Amino acid sequence: MANNEKSTLVHDAIALFIITLVAGVLLGAVYMITKDPIAQAEEKATNEAYAAVYKDAEFANDDALTQELKSFQNDVATGNLDADMAGATSYTDVELIEARTATSGGSQVGYVVKVSGKGYGGAVTIALGITNEGEILGIQILDASNETPGLGQNSTKEDWNSQYIGMTADKTLSVVKDGSGSKDNGTINSISGATITSSAVTRAVSVALKFVASQQ
């Protein structure tokens, strides 16, 4: 009886190993097949967002700018930027993903920046158009799919995120809940019931503005 039980256990273990191995191989194959199309779709969405947030401009990668972004992001991640920005807010969750130069008529007019902040359910990813002078011309939420439907996902709506247009790095942006938000003092009206998402976007925008200001 004991031998039969041992044989059954060995048989089950082998069967489980084979199933796991086959499943792993299949998942790997699916990943390899879908990786490039997904990357292409994301790149297309990013380019379309850049065109929307900085109209009538052309965008180019710049190796020097990319290296400066990486260095700046290291300061963000290690908390060095927190000391340079007023208030008790921490920006260590913000990730500067990429920046490109924006040109018009053959001259650089500003930057487009892709950045994310940690919201309620995960990263909220944003595209920004920022002039050489450090003023936000346009904003688009690229991904807020991890946020709560009807609450945090409302960050994608233009009637909310358009509050950031015209903001500059000379003020530390903050979120208010009482509807008193104003460009004059750098305050943003929170999405009702989604203060965490509102704060995530605001922190990310603040870091993007500081990065562009560092290029002056």
Tens-place pLDDT, residues 141-166: 999 999 999 999 999 999 999 999 99
pLDDT digits (tens, 9 = 90+) for 3-31: 566 677 777 778 788 888 887 787 777 66
Query: Contact at 8 Å (CB) between 161 and 144?
Result: no
Question: Is residue 29, in this structure, part of any structural domain at all?
Answer: no
In DSSP terms, which residues pair with 115 in a beta bridge? 96, 126
> Which of 29-43, 94-108, 141-155 is the least confident region?
29-43
Q: How many CB atoms lie within 10 A of CB 43?
A: 10
The answer to whether residue 62 is domain-embedded is: yes
Residue 189 has pLDDT above 80, yes or no: yes
**Quick check: is 39 in a domain?**
no
Give the relative orientation of helices 195-213 and 63-77 as an angle to the nearest 10 degrees: 130
Question: The pTM is what?
Answer: 0.81
Q: Are 122 and 128 in contact (CB under 8 A)?
A: no
Calculate the alpha carbon distances from 187 to 172, 174, 198 in Å: 8, 5, 11
Does residue 122 sit within a domain?
yes
Domain presence at residue 83 = yes
CA geometry: angle 45, 49, 52, nearest 5 deg:
145
Q: Is 139 among the domain residues?
A: yes
Do residues 179 and 189 lie in contact, with contact meaning Cβ atoms separated by under 8 Å? Answer: yes
Domains identified in the chain, total number: 1
Domain extent, residue 202, equals 54-213
User: Environment class of residue 195 by beta-carbon count within 10 Å: exposed (0-12), middle (13-18) or buried (19+)?
Assistant: middle
Mean pLDDT of all residues in the chain? 89
- Scanning the structure block, which residue is given the tokens 């020097």? 64
